[in-house]
Structure 1
Amino acid sequence: MSSSNIRDKDEALKDWVSRLPDDILVNIISRLTLKEAARTSVLSSRWKYLWTYASNLNFDASKLLVNVYEETIEEERLRYMCWVNKVLESHKSLSVNEFIIVFDLDDSHESNISHWVYTAISKRAQKFELNLFPALCWPPASGIYEFSQGCYDYLKSPCGLSRVKSLRFLYFDTVNVTEEILEFFINNCPNLDDLRVGRSDNLLRLKVVGSLLQLKCLHIDHCNNLEELEISCPSLLSFKYFGPEIKLHVKNVPQLVDVLIGGGHGIGKGKVIGPIVNYFPQLKTLELHVELNEEILQFPECDLPELRHLMFMLVHLIVAASLV
C-alpha cells in the first residue's frame, strides 16, 4: 500500500467529531434522550462529563406505564424517582431549555416532585412540563399532587422572580394549582407564550388579562371545579377549553384563530360558545364537542370567511331506565 493511501486511511479513521468545541458537542448530546446522552460518557475521558451539561432534561417515561400493573406500580415509581434524582445530582449546567416530568406520581411523592419544581425554576427552564396523570386509576389513590406553598414562596422571592422570567411554555397535568399560582406565572413571566392546565381540582377561577401579555396558546382541560374564566389578551392565537359549563368572559383577542370548545352541559346553548361568537369571522380552526340533541345543533348564524377546518364531535348520551 502506498504512503498516500495509508495517509488517506488514517485521515478517514480520525475522530473528527471529538475535535469539535465543547459547546457544539453539548448541543449534539442535548438532541439525544437522557439515557443515550449518558452513554456517551464511556467514549473517552473528554466525553465523560459532557452529557452533564445537556440543555434538555426530558424525563418522559410514560411508555413504561403501558404494561404496568397495580402490584408493580410502586416499584416503577421508585425506579423513576431514583433515575430523575441521579441525573439531577450529576447535571452541571446552570440553565436548560426544557425540564419535563411525565409519570404516574401522586401526593405521596410530594418531596421529590417539589424538589424537581425548585430545580426546573432554578435552572431557568424555558419549557416546564409536570404531567402526573395516573396509569391505573382516577383519582390517584393518595391524592393529586398539590403545588406546595414552599414552592410558591420560592417563586415570589427575588431569586425565584429572576429565574422564572425565562419560562416560555408551562404545562401542569394532574397537578393541583390555584388561581393565585397560575396568575403569578401569567403576570411575572414576560416570555410565556403557551399555558396548558389539565385536571386541577383546586382551580376555581382564572384571569388571563393584560395588554402586555405575550401568551399565544391557552388550553384548559378537565379542570372540573372551574367556575369562571376571563380572557383579555391581544396576543392570543389558540384557545381550547374542555370541561364543565363555566362563566366565560372573552374580549380583546384580535388575533384568535384557533378554538376548541367541549365537555360540559350547555356548551351548545351559548353559555360557553356565546362569548366567542363575535370572533367567529376571524377563526381558521373551530372544533366543537357537543351532545347530540336538537337544541345544541342550532349553530349561531354568522359568517366564517377565514375558516379552514371545522369539526363537530357529537356525543350521544344513552340514558338507561329500569322498569319495576
Structure 2
Amino acid sequence: MSMRRDRRRRPIQGPNGLVTSAAKRKGSTCRQDDNSPSVKKLRYSGPSLPEDIWHHIHSLMRLRDAARAACVSHSFLSSWRCYPNLTITKKTLGLKGGKYGRSFKISSGLARKTDHILKNHSGSGVKVLKLQIHDFPMFSTSCDLDRWLHIAVKPGIEELDLCLDLHSRDAAVYNFPCPLLLDGRGKSIHRLHLRNCVFRPTAGLCSLTSLTSLDLCDVRITGDELGYLATSVALENLRLMSCYELLFLKIPSLLQRLRCLIINDCENLKVVDSKAPNLYSFLYIGKLVRLSLGDSLRDFKVSGSGSDFVHYACENLPGMLPNLEALNISSRYMRDTLVIPGKLLHLQLLCIRYFTPDYDYFSLVSLLDACPSLETFILYVEPDCVVQESILVDSSRDLRHMPPGHSYSNIKDVEIFGFCSARSLVEMTCHIIENAKSLEWLTLNTVDNTEFMCSNGRYDECSEMSRDMIIEAHKALLVVERYIVEKVASSVEFKVVEPCSRCNPLEI
C-alpha cells in the first residue's frame, strides 16, 4: 500500500518543464505554490492582442476550426460574426457522401447548417462566399438562397461561388438576383462562378469593374446578356460550359486583359468571334463552329467527336493563327489525306489524340513537315480500337519511306502512348527517328493510360487491361525489338513502358 501511495505522490514532469502533482492535476491547490511563477504560467490564458489581430488569426482558420474556436473563446466569438471566408460545402462541414439514404440526410443537413451559419453572420467583412447546395430545390428554396446571398454579398466581397446541384432534370432553376451586384456590392468581386441557374445581366452590371475570372456552368444566358459584362475590363479568364442558350459569342477589343478562354459543350453555339488583343490560350470542346480568334493566340486546344479537327487545324490555322506555339487536338474522326496550305512556323508543341480505327498514321508526316520549329510531339493511340494490319503479319514487306528532304532539325522529345504493332504507326515512328537528328528523348508506351498504375506510388494496383490489350502490348514490345531499337541513336534517352507484370500478366 505504501508503495502505491508513493507512486501517486511522485512528482510528474508537465509541459514546458513544469513540475506538478496528481493532486494539482485533479484541481486541488497548494498554498506554498499559489503565487509561484510556474502556477501563474499555467493559469495564463494568452497574450493581450488587439482585436484586429485576433480577427486576422481567426480568418486564417478553416471554416470548421473557426466555428469550434468561436465556441470556446470569447476572443474568437465576436470575429465569428464577421468571419471572411464562408466556404460552405459538404467537405468543409465534414459531411461525407454515401448511398441514397445517407446522401438524402447529408443534403438536408447541409441546408440546415448553411442556414444556421448565415443567420448568425452579421454580413460584414465577407471576402469569399462559396455555397454548394445539393439536391436543390428539395432542401433549399429560392427564398433561402436570396436571403443567404443578401446577407453575405456586401461591398468588399471578392469571390462569389454558387454551385447548385439540381435534384432532377425537371427541378426549378434558380434565377440569380442580378440587382444584388448593383449599388457597389459587385464592384470588389474578382471571381464569379455560377452553376445551374439563370443569369440575366443587364447594362447596369458595369459595376463589376474588378472582375478577373468569370466561370459559368449550366447557366442560362444569351450572347447579348453576356455582352453586358464586356465592360469588365479587368477580365482575364472566361469559362463557359454547357450554356445552351449561347448562339453567338463576341468578345470586344475592350477586354485587353483577357488571356484565357474556355468553351465546353455549348451545343447551340455557332460563332466565336474574339477581338481581345492579348488572348493567349483557347480551349474548345464541342462540335466545329466558326472561329475568329486574332493573331495573338499562342496555345490552342480543341476536342470533339463529330468533326475532323486535325484537318480543320491543318487547313485553317496557318493563316488564322500565324503565331501559334502549342496545338493540342483530340478528334475521333479523321481522314487520311492531309491538305496543308501553309506552315505553322512558330509551333513548338504538337499533341494529337484519338483516331478512327483504320487511320493511316504515316499520313501525319506531312503535318510534321509543316511545323519547322516543332520541339515536342505527343501522340495518343487507343490500341484496343485500332483496326489495321499488324506489321508482324507480313514482316517481308518493306516499310514505307518518304522521298529525301525531310529533316526535323528541332524535334527533341517524342512520346507515343498506346504504341502498338499497327504497320502505319511503326512506319511513322521509324520515319521520325531517321529524320529527327536533334532527338533527345523517345518514349514508347505500350499502355494507353499510365495515370492509374501502381508504379507511380499512388495506387495499389494498375488499371485493368483486357487480355487482347495485354497481348497487343507484348506484340508492340516485339516490334520495338525488331524495328525500332537499332534505329535509335545512342545519344537518345530511349524509354519503353510495358504492362505491369504483377497487375496485368500475360496469360497463355
Normalising by the residue count of structure 2, what TM-score does the alignment of the two structures yield? 0.49
The answer as to 2:170 corresponding to 1:145 is no
SS at match of 2:278: coil
**Contact (CA 8 Å) 1:269, 1:295: kept in 2 or not?**
no
**Contact (CA 8 Å) 1:61, 1:102: kept in 2 or not?**
yes
Structure 1 equivalent of residue 302 of structure 2: 261
Further displaced range: 68-77 or 270-279: 270-279
Structure 1 equivalent of residue 283 of structure 2: 240
Q: Could you say if the C-alpha distance between residues 125 and 158 of structure 1 is closer, same or farther in structure 2, counting changes exceeding 3 Å? A: closer
Structure 2 equivalent of residue 223 of structure 1: 266
Displacement of 1:223 in angstroms is 1.8
The answer as to 2:335 corresponding to 1:294 is yes
Q: Could you say if the C-alpha distance between residues 166 and 281 of structure 1 is closer, same or farther in structure 2, counting changes exceeding 3 Å? A: closer
**Contact (CA 8 Å) 1:246, 1:271: kept in 2 or not?**
no
Distance 1:269 1:32 in 2: 52
The answer as to 2:122 corresponding to 1:122 is no
Q: Could you say if the C-alpha distance between residues 257 and 47 of structure 1 is closer, same or farther in structure 2, counting changes exceeding 3 Å? A: same
SS at match of 2:323: helix
Match of 1:196 among 236, 239, 248: 239
- How many pairs does the alignment contain? 303
Match of 2:130 among 83, 94, 100: 100
Normalising by the residue count of structure 1, what TM-score does the alignment of the two structures yield? 0.73
Displacement of 1:45 in angstroms is 0.9
The answer as to 2:316 corresponding to 1:274 is yes
Match of 2:226 among 182, 203, 224: 182
Q: Could you say if the C-alpha distance between residues 42 and 114 of structure 1 is closer, same or farther in structure 2, counting changes exceeding 3 Å? A: closer
Q: Could you say if the C-alpha distance between residues 249 and 238 of structure 1 is closer, same or farther in structure 2, counting changes exceeding 3 Å? A: same
Displacement of 1:41 in angstroms is 0.5
Identity %: 19
Structure 2 equivalent of residue 322 of structure 1: none
The answer as to 2:80 corresponding to 1:46 is no
Q: Could you say if the C-alpha distance between residues 120 and 14 of structure 1 is closer, same or farther in structure 2, counting changes exceeding 3 Å? A: same
Structure 2 equivalent of residue 80 of structure 1: 110
Structure 1 equivalent of residue 217 of structure 2: 173
Alignment-mate amino acid for residue 289 of structure 1: S
Cα-Cα RMSD: 4.0
Displacement of 1:39 in angstroms is 1.3
Distance 2:133 2:337 in 1: 37
Q: Could you say if the C-alpha distance between residues 263 and 118 of structure 1 is closer, same or farther in structure 2, counting changes exceeding 3 Å? A: farther
Displacement of 1:289 in angstroms is 1.7
Displacement of 1:146 in angstroms is 5.0
Cα deviation code 1:15-51 (max 9, x no counterpart): 65x6444444434433433222211102321111323
Ranked by relative contact order (alpha carbons within 8 Å, sequence separation 6 or more), the top structure is 1
Alignment-mate amino acid for residue 311 of structure 1: C
Alignment-mate amino acid for residue 263 of structure 2: I
Displacement of 1:58 in angstroms is 1.9
SS at match of 2:354: strand
SS at match of 1:128: strand
Cα deviation code 1:140-189 (max 9, x no counterpart): 422473544xx23444x5455646334332322233233244323332x3
Cα deviation code 1:96-126 (max 9, x no counterpart): 4332234544566444445555566535432
Alignment-mate amino acid for residue 177 of structure 1: I
The structure whose Rg is larger is 2
Structure 2 equivalent of residue 37 of structure 1: 66
Structure 1, unmatched stretches of 5+, are 319-324
**Contact (CA 8 Å) 2:55, 2:79: kept in 1 or not?**
yes
**Contact (CA 8 Å) 1:210, 1:233: kept in 2 or not?**
yes
Cα deviation code 1:237-281 (max 9, x no counterpart): 332221222222222x63x33332112533334289936864353
